Amino acid sequence: MGVDVRDRRTLAAFVAAILVGGANSVAVRSSNAELAPFWGAALRFIGAGLIFWLLVAVLRIPLPRGRALLGPLIYGVLAFALSYAFVYFGLKEAHAGPAQVILAVVPLLTMLLAVAQRQERFSARGLGGALVAAAGIAIIFGDQLGGSTPLVSLLALLAGAALIAETGIVIKAFPRTDPMIMNAVGMSVGVVLLLGLSAATGERWALPVKTDTWLALGYLVVFGSVVVFTLVLRVLRAWSASAASYQFLLVPLVTILVAAALIGELPTPIFLLGGAVVLLGVYIGAFSRRAGTESTDVPAASSVESPAGARVAVAYTVVPPPAGNC
């Protein structure tokens, strides 16, 4: 899997990304309690984007041009505008735990989309994992619909997961770009489109009044965006893409614990069953084949561009962007 457990700094970054990212869905739910979803997402990326632009200025990172600029622009459309629009809309009604479990299918969706677009070879194990994960999603959908969660909210989360997965496939076709610029430009594009979507749907633009909302928004800006994206980049530079992607399996566990502790979202037994089935399907389809078949089932290793701008050596494995952590 390409993991050197002796690299304590990378391992610490991996664990920290899971712990910090695990609270993101809960913070979004808290933000959505007062702010309209698209407006709330735009506020988050205005703050995080300004921090990234400040880092670009301080570090004197040159702006990309031509085709190198097109990558961050498309990254912004897919990763920050479309995917987060669906995720924030879904989290308006859906609980944080089920939402994060649905988003945990990002690595598996990435693999399936990569096969469909001929970036990876077809795998029977991958198809089997997809079917198992689909069964788990069906269980969660049934449980959440029984608890009055609208179907449209669950479908929005699934659409968000698919867009996050597609981002990792599309962005690798463009030249390598500094991650600070990648996120600064991407978030700026996302803010413009989210504000347009917010205006088109008639959302009310107002700053938060409640202290809890400010705390949630501050967490999402500083920790849930800037810190998480930086930590994920650190892990991607040291580990293989498939090893780094294990965070998508572990983040839901943190989310469930945080949601139960902070906002009293207690999981039902049926949800826990469905979540376990989803994670099993993702493991079967996206991870279990790596150790034994990486050298025979896929072409030789290639240098792949991650959505965060880091080049990592993988066997045609597409890297899901950090947006999967909400």
- What pLDDT shows up at residue 222? 95
DSSP reduced 3-state for 314:
strand
Which of 307 and 56 is assigned the larger pLDDT?
A: 56
DSSP reduced 3-state for 302:
strand
DSSP reduced 3-state for 305:
strand
pLDDT reading at 319 higher than 50? no
- What pLDDT shows up at residue 56? 94
pLDDT reading at 257 higher than 60? yes
User: In this predicted model, what pLDDT tens digit does every residue of 166-215 receive, in sequence order?
Assistant: 887 777 677 777 888 888 999 999 999 999 999 999 999 999 999 999 99
**DSSP label at 312?**
E
Q: Residue written as tokens 């407006």?
A: 39
Give the span between the Cα atoms of 31 and 29, in whole angstroms. Answer: 5
> How many CB atoms are located within 10 Å of the residue 117 CB?
12
Mean pLDDT of 217-233: 89
Q: What residues contact 171, with CB distance under 8 A and at least 6 apart?
A: 71, 74, 75, 78, 305, 306, 307, 321
Which of 107 and 39 is assigned the larger pLDDT?
A: 39
Q: Encode 4-40 in three state secondary structure.
A: CCCCHHHHHHHHHHHHHHCCHHHHHHHHHCCCCHHHH
Q: What residues contact 199, with CB distance under 8 A and at least 6 apart?
A: none
- Residue 258 confidence class, pLDDT cut points 50, 70, 90: confident
User: In this predicted model, what pLDDT tens digit does every residue of 114-169 receive, in sequence order?
Assistant: 778 876 677 777 778 778 877 887 787 677 666 667 889 889 998 998 898 888 77
CA angle 213, 16, 236 (to 5 degrees): 115
> How many CB atoms are located within 10 Å of the residue 156 CB?
24
Quote the mean pLDDT of the chain: 78
Where on the phi/psi map is residue 317: left (φ > 0), alpha (ψ -120 to 50), or beta? beta
User: In this predicted model, what pLDDT tens digit does every residue of 288-299 receive, in sequence order?
Assistant: 655 444 433 333
- What pLDDT shows up at residue 216? 95
Which of 167 and 4 is assigned the larger pLDDT?
A: 167
Structure token digits, residue 311? 């080049």
The domain limits of the chain are 8-325
Give the span between the Cα atoms of 317 and 95, in whole angstroms. Answer: 31
- What pLDDT shows up at residue 243? 60
Give the span between the Cα atoms of 34 and 185, in whole angstroms. Answer: 28
pLDDT reading at 58 higher than 90? yes
On whether the CB atoms of residues 98 and 144 are closer than 8 A, the answer is: yes
Which of 4 and 300 is assigned the larger pLDDT?
A: 4
